[in-house]
Amino acid sequence: MTSDDPIVLVLDDDPAVGEALSGLLLSAGLRSETFTSPQEFLRHPRPAGPACLILDVQLRDLNGLELQTDLAKGDPPLPIIFVTGHGTIPMSVRAMKRGAIEFLTKPFDADDLLDAVRQALDQDRLARDRLAGLSELQARLGTLTPREREVFWLVVTGQLNKQIAAALGCSEQTVKVHRGRVMRKLAAGSVADLVRQAERLRGEAGAPLPR
């Protein structure tokens, strides 16, 4: 296995529970790493590959739901599967509303846990791929000249070459040249592709469309 392979992180202040969960995961062909305190877990760098966290709600030093709030700030947030011997309906509702994959009460069914783990790893993998694609798109955007960025902005707002030429004070032919370069640099096959890219930059990065 490499550092990019999926890994399941286990945080439970009972070493015996952590060992049991690690053994269960190993039996399913899943790599894991266990922690017995939030401090130990937080000192650990986030894995390079897809990951998720099996988290006990009741920890000695910190409530697991509070840790979930902190981890939600990650980009992307680390998927969490809660396990607890002292769960309540309000706890489970709070955890699920905040994005938990599953909330299991001890003793839980091993298959239920493994199903949740696989779902969590798939979710993290997709989120990482989405971010990688966004980073690539942002890098391509950075190759545009200031004028090409202006043309990009005007194209994705639906303006025609004639309108863009009038707005920029240049010829339609010049606009066509810039437009072609924008399409090539952004690897877009159509105007619809450009619009989708612009919306992705604005929606996923939380930034305004480039001007």
In this prediction, residue 10 carries a pLDDT of 97
Q: Could you tell me whether strands 102-105 and 31-35 are parallel, antiparallel, or unpaired per DSSP bridges? A: unpaired
**Which domains, ranges and CATH numbers included, belong to the chain?**
7-136 (3.40.50.2300), 142-205 (1.10.10.10)
pTM passes above 0.75: no
Both tokens assigned to 80: 């969490």
Give the H/E segment covering residue 190: none
Average pLDDT over the chain reads: 89
Q: Percent of the chain scored above 90 by pLDDT? A: 63
pLDDT in tens, 51-106: 999 999 888 878 888 899 888 887 789 999 999 887 778 888 989 998 999 999 88
DSSP structure string for 127-148:
HHHHHHHHHHHHHHHTTS-HHH
Name the 3-class secondary structure at 105.
Answer: strand
Return the DSSP state at 2.
Answer: -
pLDDT in tens, 33-64: 999 999 999 999 999 899 999 999 888 878 88
Task: Please state, in angstroms and as integers, the Cα–Cα distance from residue 184 to each residue in 5, 116, 141, 151, 200, following that order.
Answer: 34, 42, 11, 13, 18
pLDDT in tens, 132-179: 888 899 999 999 999 999 999 899 999 999 999 999 999 999 999 999
In this prediction, residue 204 carries a pLDDT of 58
Return the DSSP state at 4.
Answer: T
To which residue do tokens 């966004």 refer? 134
For residues 109-116, give the mean pLDDT.
96
Buried b (16+ CB within 10 A) or exposed e, 116-150: bbbebbebbeebeeeeeebeebeebbeebeeebbb
Both tokens assigned to 50: 């897809």
